Amino acid sequence: MSQSSNKSAAIIAAAGMGHRLGAQLPKALVQLHGITLLERAFTAISPAVDEIIITAPPGFEDQYRALVGDSATVITGGILRSDSVNLALAAISKDVKIVLVHDAARALATTELAIRIRDAVASGESAVIPALAAIDTIKEVDREGYVRNTLDRSALVAVQTPQGFARDVLVRAHAASEDATDDAALVEALGIKVKTILGEVNALKITTPEDLAMATTLLIGSTTQLQSGVGVDAHAFSADPKRPMWLAGLLWENEIGV
């Protein structure tokens, strides 16, 4: 948690539906290895902030509250993501100075990442976002699918959440601009510098069934422990002297089988 002079809050944007995941319910209620995306995102970010606001689709507020209990405030989200964030900003306590905006769909982002984002804002940055260097070659194409240009990969990053902001900066950004793919873009539009820090490979955005499968693999892989041991298996030799001996998938010549 932050000191009182740097009180922090997190907004978990969770008002979207899971149609691209093939689900007829909010994406945040889709389960990842038996636990909803909302619960995973909420549990990870909770230790990093002093309060949490969660945006829910109309009609699902009580289901969200049942999952997070009294540790968060659940409000009804808007039509656009920016609408939801604006509503959540209005619900945050007046003395909050730092706001993290997080997508429930990035359910594997860690507490450590949220703390690094929060602390970077507390140190004086106006806006801080996690990012990973682009690995693939990125090309710009036209509407017909023809390549216009190959971009300089060394200057490109893939951006994640949670994203952290000085509260007054985020409020100004949302008041001045329309919807954007992330909150940092709204801050950029004000001419304010946005600082990037190293993100996490596991903090992928779960949007499609393939993303969910990948996240499941990452999750299981991070919790699986290899173990080894020695076992003994005993069998009597066959009474038939002509029975072949097969052991470990191999035929042992001149031996009586079991």
Q: Tally the domains of the chain.
A: 1
State residue 22's pLDDT score: 84
Angle value at C-alpha 100, between 96 and 102, nearest 5 degrees: 145
State residue 226's pLDDT score: 58
Whether residue 243 is contained in a domain is answered as no
Whether residue 235 is contained in a domain is answered as no
Whether residue 250 is contained in a domain is answered as no
Residues of the domain holding 75: 4-139+150-223
State residue 57's pLDDT score: 97
Domain of 22: which CATH number?
A: 3.90.550.10
Whether residue 233 is contained in a domain is answered as no
Whether residue 236 is contained in a domain is answered as no
Nearest of 9, 196, 192 to residue 100 by alpha carbon: 9
What is the number of other CB atoms lying within 10 angstroms of the CB of residue 93?
11
State residue 129's pLDDT score: 99
Whether residue 182 is contained in a domain is answered as yes
State residue 3's pLDDT score: 54
3-state secondary structure (DSSP) of residue 3: coil
Whether residue 256 is contained in a domain is answered as no
State residue 247's pLDDT score: 74
Provide block-wise average pLDDT over 10 residues at a time, the chain (258 residues). 77 92 91 96 98 98 97 96 95 98 98 98 98 95 97 95 98 88 94 98 95 92 66 76 76 79
Cα Rg of the chain, angstroms: 26
Whether residue 101 is contained in a domain is answered as yes
